[in-house]
Structure 1
Amino acid sequence: MTAPDSHLAGSHLTIDLAALADNYRTVVQKAPTAECAAVIKADAYGTGLEPSAQTLWDAGARTFFVAHPQEGAKTRALLPEATIYVLNGLVGDDSSAEFDYYRMNALRPVLGCREEVTLWQDYCADRGESLPCAIHFDTGMNRLGLSLADAEELSTARQQAKPAFALELIISHLVCADEPAHPKNREQLEKFRAVRRLFPDVRASLANSGGVFLGPDYHFDLCRPGIALYGGAVVDGAPSPMRVVATLKTRILATRTVAKGQTVSYGASETTRRDSRLAIVCLGYADGYLRSASSSDAKKGAKVSINGHPAPIIGRVTMDLIIVDVTDIPADKARRGDWAEFFGSQIALDDVAKAAGTISYELLTSLGLRALRNYL
């Protein structure tokens, strides 16, 4: 059984790998004194781990961050010379099999609590191998990360006796980097500087995508851009300076005219306010397009673009179909077979996310596998 060709696929997801590479180079230019890594977790933010990782390697990335060890192993098979960190650290049941998996795939766990530090220390001591790792220190997220008190204890212990493992990197994670004026940014910076002073011989990393654009104070030795690489905004409420990487589009299956006062889609949650022309398109939440982008009488949803004309979704997003109000588009510009762009160069990814009450990260990583993927 062969995969459907472009004439049979209901929706198309186009990934512009040249734009991905350009976005990486843009971030590199923003942080010229630091190494620029690439975050490729969650299937490279929904764009496909293998093609995106290879593109980023070719563009110059040598250090990669994933969330889970399986993602790391997949990256290792593709990029045998890359440095690969696993952000979620030791996620298993503390058995040696998990540690062996990290070792065999040359993965570096990012240790996020004291227990993990002890486990990695014991494993390295038992094997007599100084295996590399990173340690995450919390500076205000209150998620993963050791405390400043933990940092002081570890620093003292490290000065007294060489640890069994090789500490290659210390990291923390910014909470409000997409809000440049937020005081939390400076607060976290000062806390991370205090940690850095305790480990002056270890490379340090604080800046995520937004952090890169906060300026050189936040760059340290290594930046970890994620969403910026994939075309998402780096400053909340401001247009993204990055190139569009992902474009989601589908075809119009049919059009119909509906009189004023008729309800549309499930739940009868939206009523036409005029005689309307509607287009039914071949996309739904089973494709990863969020149901929260629906429209109703109480709340307007996301928009699409058809032949360069914006058109609002009307009613609820359903599993396989979405209804769009094309009343304001000339009839010959919104016909059966025409393409509707749901995000891309005509409809900004972050605008769709905002209409859905979420962020571009969720929208990208929710994309399903049903769309025909085209890599440029």
Structure 2
Amino acid sequence: MHEVKGVVAKAVGEPVSLETILVPDPGPGEALVKVEACGVCHTDLHYREGGINDEFPFLLGHEAAGVVEAVGEGVTTVAPGDFVVLNWRAVCGECRACERGEPQYCFNTHNATQQMTLLDGTPLSPALGIGAFAEKTLVAAGQCTKVDPEARPAAVGLLGCGVMAGIGAAINTGNVGRGKSVAVIGCGGVGVAAIAGSALAGASTIIAVDIDPKKLEAAKRLGATHTVNSSETDAVEAIQALTGGFGADVVIDAVGRPETWKQAFYARDLAGTVVLVGVPTPDMELPDIPLLDFFSRGGALKSSWYGDCLPSRDFPMLVDLYQQGRLDLDAFVTEEIALDEVEAAFERMHHGDVLRSVVVFS
């Protein structure tokens, strides 16, 4: 049993606290990981606010990189000393998606079986089955993806959620390729990652849409060719004007609201693709759109789960591109913070002051 410090959300809306937690030695199929860096993702704030479920207390943190310290019985994919990025899609290899050769849609992903607890024995619910705002965490071995050990942990750990979700929404879900036009609505961490992914894939026109000038500037640094401040101009009209009057081939909604989804729907070209990667809340419903418009515009309306990624395939490739200087993951790291600064980072995130705060363990 390992006694370490971790960031815990104990009740809805309450500030998080730094607690001593107990992490078991790994059992069969599990791995103990010494965390080196973990990004502060909006999903962690959703957990704290009760927006995911009510299984408090939560051990927060999931965008992480670290070193495997020990493995349990039967683990052959990773070994002690391996530098890994953690993921929340440890594919099972047995469900109907895996059996038809589409493990990126695995419907039965694995987490660690044993529970991490507070000192008094209270079980903790790890965020996305990871719980990496902690000096060490216990995960299923399949949640560990080996990558280049020379890579910067604070940067590559972000592939564990938001950056991968955005890049994958463009490349995997939206099939963005050479010469295509793309519009991204919402330029937080996921949206800017979708812009970076579109640039990586060779899109010719990449339009960033947001109401915050600071976020639009960040989008330009990551590859946007045009920006639209939708607080000042109609986003649909602006996207059409920048694409010859037709609309973009792919429009990515990285906000996840009925209003932005409707903008995405009408801002795409005929036979174009809409990708929803922003996460709606349970009370949101589709906007009122005539059914004939769905039929007459053709194309595809897609949701992107984790960027439709396969960590074993995508993480090493993207880390290699980062190491080659072709994918600027460092640009997503606005600040490096200590473990006891997570609550303050949530406040900066709420005000849109950062792309990512990253907890770095000394």
Does the pair score TM above 0.5?
no
TM-score by length of 2: 0.28
